[in-house]
Structure 1
Amino acid sequence: MTIFFYGVNDPYYCFSNFSPYGFRLNDKWWPTNEHFFQAQKFAGTFYAEEIRLAKTPKQAANMGRDRNLPLRPDWDISRNEVMHLGVYQKFKHNSEIREVLLSTGNQLIVENAPSDYYWGCGADGSGANHLGRILMEVRTQLRKEALKKN
């Protein structure tokens, strides 16, 4: 069985970067993973902090997609690593959704984002689904960490 997520009413909406599960990283509170991810496009600038303080994840996303400011030079090669870090922190620090992720077993996880062919599956299912892949990687990582504790 494949797990699809995207909309706020989906049973697995907690997998979305817009879901309201924050985390602390590098002495800063990130209200959502969307805030974290979008801010990292401008790491080390005043604009990154403005994105972190955005009132909603939608606002953070819009700010991060503004191309009037240059992206950090290594963004194309670092964006997946940044996403992985944010997703990991989100699930590491929020036990209720960590359990949801771990309960998915080995099922395929797909971000059913019709307009996103990079992070999601796109309208026709041909997208790369990088966010789904990262969620599955984090699931494996959290399982390994849990085994080490026991």
Structure 2
Amino acid sequence: MAVTVAPRPRILFYHKHNPHYGFTNFSSHPVVYHGKRYPTSEHLFQSFKFQGHRPDVAEHIRTCSQRPSVAFSEARRFQASVRADWKNINVEKMDETLYHKFTQHSDLMQELLATGNAELVEDSDKDAFWGIGADGRGRNELGKALERLRAQFRGD
């Protein structure tokens, strides 16, 4: 007798007007890291590209605007100064960013835990690394990071 396994439910998140927008780094959930307040987790994540070797740029990104899109744009503007090992550590830094965000916002932690075993999918048509991209076949690294965090919170 063949056993069929039902596919995991999928939870899509990305757009501000849809559920689970808080799972994105653009949601307005400030994060405190090493005693400094970052307006959003996007600010913290982008600043990680420069912390240590370019603290001036990291601080600029933290304080440039309340808007996460500006933090993203400013990090792009300073692309030449991004730490050399960024591609090797960016997923680890996303994990760290999300840990700080979700442990500082218990409502988000509860929302994440309430997703059960669902596959979490950043439904971004613009980003095939952190999201699923325009063709839906992207790496979805943000969704995977959230699933790792959920498992960590549950003690899996």
Same fold (TM over 0.5): yes
Deviation track 1:85-132 (CA, whole Å, cap 9, x = no partner) reads 001110011011111000000000000010101000001111000000
Q: How does 1:91-102 map to 2 (within 5 A)?
A: 91-102=102-113
Please tell me whether the aligned partners of residues 31 and 44 of structure 2 are also in contact (alpha carbons under 8 angstroms).
no
Structure 2: distance between partners of 1:90 and 1:96: 11
Structure 1: distance between partners of 2:128 and 2:78: 19
Please tell me whether the aligned partners of residues 35 and 54 of structure 1 are also in contact (alpha carbons under 8 angstroms).
no
- Match of residue 63 from structure 2: 53
Among all aligned residue pairs of Structure 1 and Structure 2, give the percentage whose two residues are the same amino acid.
39
From 19, 22, 27, give the equivalent of 2:30.
22
Please tell me whether the aligned partners of residues 92 and 142 of structure 1 are also in contact (alpha carbons under 8 angstroms).
no
RMSD across aligned C-alpha pairs, in angstroms?
A: 1.3
Call closer, same or farther: CA 1:102–1:71 in 2, change over 3 Å.
same
From 102, 113, 116, give the equivalent of 1:105.
116
Deviation track 1:30-77 (CA, whole Å, cap 9, x = no partner) reads 221100011111113201100001211110010111245321011010
TM-score, normalisation: structure 2: 0.89
Structure 2: distance between partners of 1:128 and 1:68: 22
Across the two proteins, how many residue pairs are aligned to each other?
A: 145
* Structure 1 portions without partners, runs of 5+: 146-150
TM-score, normalisation: structure 1: 0.92
Quote the offset at 1:142 in angstroms. 1.1
Structure 2: distance between partners of 1:107 and 1:24: 28
- Match of residue 4 from structure 2: none
Quote the offset at 1:27 in angstroms. 1.5
Structure 1: distance between partners of 2:28 and 2:42: 10
Structure 1: distance between partners of 2:93 and 2:155: 21
Structure 2: distance between partners of 1:68 and 1:102: 35
